Amino acid sequence: MEGLEFREWLPQDAARMSYLFDTDPMNRWTPLPTPFTVSEALGYVERAHELRRRLGSLQLAVCEIGGQVVGELLLFPGRNADDLEMAYGIGADYQGQGYASASVRAGLTLARNGGISTTTLMIAVDNPASMAVAERTGFMRTEVPLEERRRKGFVLQMAMWEQKLVRPA
């Protein structure tokens, strides 16, 4: 899918973020607080900017060209110095239209251009839509043991997916 822009979150995005991310699926699959109010979203934007300054993480709004914010792409330091972990969330109104795959591909380009050699995704084993995105974008599930994450009353078994990157010449 073409026609996406990626930019850092802005305080004026808070109402849109709340609309996109205050849903049952986002509650289940993400660590975002529930309810995810406009006030929570404003705090999230502030923390995203702080994490960029401190750790180099990027939490980017996924936007249609000249249009609405449809989701988020996250890129943060991985387990090793030349690794990057990615995550993404696309609002319910935009799922199934290629936004997640396009976002992951954009993240892979940023990683490759930044000299990253390995990119990972952590995906709950009972999230088939996210696993399909990983497969479509060239990730392979690793043999790393499942990682249990407990949050908001859910117990998630997270599988690591990996892609080795070829750096540009």
Distance from CA of residue 10 to its chain's centroid? 17
Q: Is the peptide bond before 128 cis (omega within 30 degrees of 0)?
A: no
The domain in which residue 107 lies consists of 4-119
- Is residue 166 one of the residues assigned to a domain? no
- Is residue 96 one of the residues assigned to a domain? yes
Q: Which residues contact 90 (CB under 8 A, 6 or more apart)?
A: 62, 70, 71, 99, 100, 103
Tell me the pLDDT of the chain (169 aa) as tens digits: 568 999 999 999 999 999 999 999 999 999 999 999 999 999 999 999 999 999 999 999 999 987 899 999 999 998 888 899 999 999 999 999 999 999 999 999 999 998 899 999 999 999 999 999 999 999 999 999 999 999 999 999 999 999 999 766 6
The Cα 18–Cα 27 span in angstroms is 12
122 burial via Cβ count (<10 Å: 0-12, 13-18, 19+): middle
Around Cβ 81, how many Cβ atoms within 10 Å? Answer: 8
Report which residue type is found at 72. Answer: E
Does residue 118 contact residue 163 with C-beta atoms inside 8 Å? yes
- Is residue 132 one of the residues assigned to a domain? no
CATH number at residue 16: 3.40.630.30
- Is residue 70 one of the residues assigned to a domain? yes
- Is residue 129 one of the residues assigned to a domain? no
What Rg do the C-alpha atoms of the chain give, in angstroms?
A: 15
The Cα 57–Cα 3 span in angstroms is 24
Task: Give the predicted TM-score (pTM) of the model.
Answer: 0.93
Res 2: pLDDT: 66
| Owner of token pair 């973020």 | 17
Around Cβ 107, how many Cβ atoms within 10 Å? Answer: 24
Q: In total, how many domains does the chain have?
A: 1
Res 166: pLDDT: 78
